Amino acid sequence: MRNISLKIIKIKLKSVKILQFKKMEAIMKLFGTDGVRGEAGSFLSAEVAMKVAMAAGIYLKSSAVTNKILVGKDTRRSGYMIENAIVCGLTAVGYDVVEIGPMPTPAIAFITENMRCDAGIMISASHNSFEDNGIKFFDAHGDKFPTDVEKKIEDIYFNQEILNEAQAKGKSIGKAKRIDDVIGRYIVQLKNSFPVEMTLQGMRIVLDTANGAAYKVGPTVLEELGAEVIIMHNKPTGFNINEGCGALHTNELCENVIKYRADLGIALDGDADRLVVVDEKGEVVDGDQLLGALGLHLHQKKLLKGGGIVATVMSNQGLDDYMKSNGLKLFRSNVGDKHVLEIMKKEGINFGGEQSGHVIMHDFAKTGDGLVSALQVLALIIDKKGSASSLLRPFPLYPQKLININVKVKKPLKDIKGLDEKLAELESENIRHLIRYSGTENKLRILLEAKNEKIMNKKMDEMVEFFQKALNA
C-alpha cells in the first residue's frame, strides 16, 4: 500500500511539473531583437544561461568543425555568473570553450572567425544598465544568428528530453581555457580599417568608453594612430557601465569637447557596438546624418557597393531624400542591426546602420562596431580637410520625435481598441508613424515624423496619453 501511495505522489508531482513547464513555454520567449536579454538573476538566471548554452551547443554539434566556442563579456558584475553558467552548459554537451574576458561585441565577431571557432558568444546587455545582461550568438563567420536559428535553439531549450540525452560523459565532456592576449588581434584589425596613408597626429579626441568593454582597446587604438586622447569613464566597477555616460548620456562629453577644444567627441555604449559623435562645437551629430555623410563619402571614394545604403524603418525621411539626390538608394530593414545586415547581404551592399549609432562597415567588421565607425568618421574629416560640424550634417532632417513608454504587459497592438482610428488620424495629417515594442525591454516605442513640427508634437502628446491609458490601466 505504501509503494502505491508513493507512486501516486510521484505521478502527481510529475503532472504539476509538466503543467508548469507548458505554462512557462507558452508565456516565455527567450530571444528578442538582439539575443537573450533581461534582468540578471531573475529572467536571465544562471540556470537559464546554462540551458541556453546547452541548447546552442546541441544545435551547433551537428555541423561542428573545430568543436570550439568563444565566450566574451562586457564589464557587468553579473557577467561572472553568466559566463560560468555558459561554460558549464557548453562543456556539459561536449564543447570546448575559449574564454577571453571583457571585450567589445564586434571583437567577439572578429575573433570567432579569426580563431576558427564554431561560434562565438557575447555576454552583454549593450546600452542597458548594469542590472540587466544578455547573451548574443555569432556563427563561425562572425555573423549574428538569424531568427530561424534562434527559434531552433529556443525549441531545444524547452525540450528537456533532448537536453538530457545530449549530456556528455567521460572523455567526451568538454574543457575550457582562458586566453588573455587576444586584444592585440582586435587592435590590429581596427588599425587596418583606417587608411594606411593617414594619421591622427594633431587631432584631439575626447573618448567616453561608458565604463564598458572598450575601456582598454578604445584609447589604445586612437593613441597608437597618433591622436591626443582625453579619456572619460574608463574605470569599470561592475556596476557603473552606461551609468550617466556613454552613447545614451552625452552631456558631459559635449561639455568636455568644448572644455578641451577637441576636434571630435566619441561616445561608445557598454559593449562598443555603437557610437555617438559630438562635433567640435559640442553638439551631438544625428545618427541619420552620420549615415548619410559616411555613405556619400564611401561612394565618392568608389568604395560603396550595391548603389546605396541600408537603414531601418526608424530612419528619417531626410536621409532617403539625400540618397536619392545623389543617385543612391536607401533600403529599409526592420529595427536591429542583424536585420540591417540581412538586407545588406541580399542587395550586395557594404554599408548600413541604425540612427541609434549601430553602423556596419562590412568591409571591416561583421557587425556594428563603434570603433571602426569612429575611425571612418575621422578618415572622412581628414580627407575632406574640414570640421566635424560642417561635414557631418549634409542634409536637413524632417522633425521627428521618439518617446518610450514603460509598460507592464506587451499587449498585441492589434488588440488595442481604438488604435486603428488613432493611426488613421496621423495619416490624415501626413505624419509618418512607427509604433513597436522594444525587443529587449518592457517599453513601447512611439516614433512620429512630419514636416509640421507643431502638429506632430500635439499628436505625440495625444498618442502617449492614449497608450498610457490602454496599456497601464
The upper half-sphere exposure of residue 97, i.e. CA atoms within 13 Å in the direction of its Cβ, equals 28
Of the residues 5, 45, 78, 126, only one is catalytic, namely: 126
Place of cell 552631456: 251
Q: Is 78 a catalytic site residue? A: no
Q: Which three cell numbers stand for residue 87?
A: 561554460
Q: What is the DSSP letter of 225?
A: T
Q: Which three cell numbers stand for residue 216?
A: 582598454
Q: Is 170 left (phi over 0), alpha (psi -120 to 50) or beta?
A: left
Among the listed residues 391, 396, 402, 389, the one whose alpha carbon sits nearest the alpha carbon of residue 445: 402
d(CA 269, CA 215): 11
Please state, as a whole number, how many other Cβ atoms lie within 10 Å of the Cβ of residue 260.
14
Among the listed residues 22, 97, 113, the one whose alpha carbon sits nearest the alpha carbon of residue 53: 97
Show the CA angle centred on residue 352, arms to residues 350 and 358, nearest 5°: 130
End-to-end CA distance of the chain, in Å? 54
Q: In terms of C-beta density within 10 A (0-12 exposed, 13-18 middle, 19 or more buried), how is residue 204 classed?
A: middle
d(CA 249, CA 160): 43
d(CA 18, CA 159): 11
Residues 6+ apart with CB under 8 A from 313: 332, 333, 334, 335, 434
Among the listed residues 271, 281, 243, the one whose alpha carbon sits nearest the alpha carbon of residue 390: 281
Asked whether the beta carbons of 194 and 379 are under 8 A apart, the reply is yes
d(CA 245, CA 269): 8
User: 204-208 and 359-361 as β-strands: parallel, antiparallel, unpaired?
Assistant: unpaired
Distances (CA, A) of 242 to 195, 236, 347, 445: 31, 10, 35, 20
Task: Please provide the DSSP assignment of 234-286 as one string.
Answer: ----SS-TTTT-GGG--HHHHHHHHHTT-SEEEEE-TTSS-EEEE-TTS-BPP
Q: H-type helices in 28-93, by residue range?
A: 46-61, 78-92
Which residues are identified as catalytic?
Answer: 126
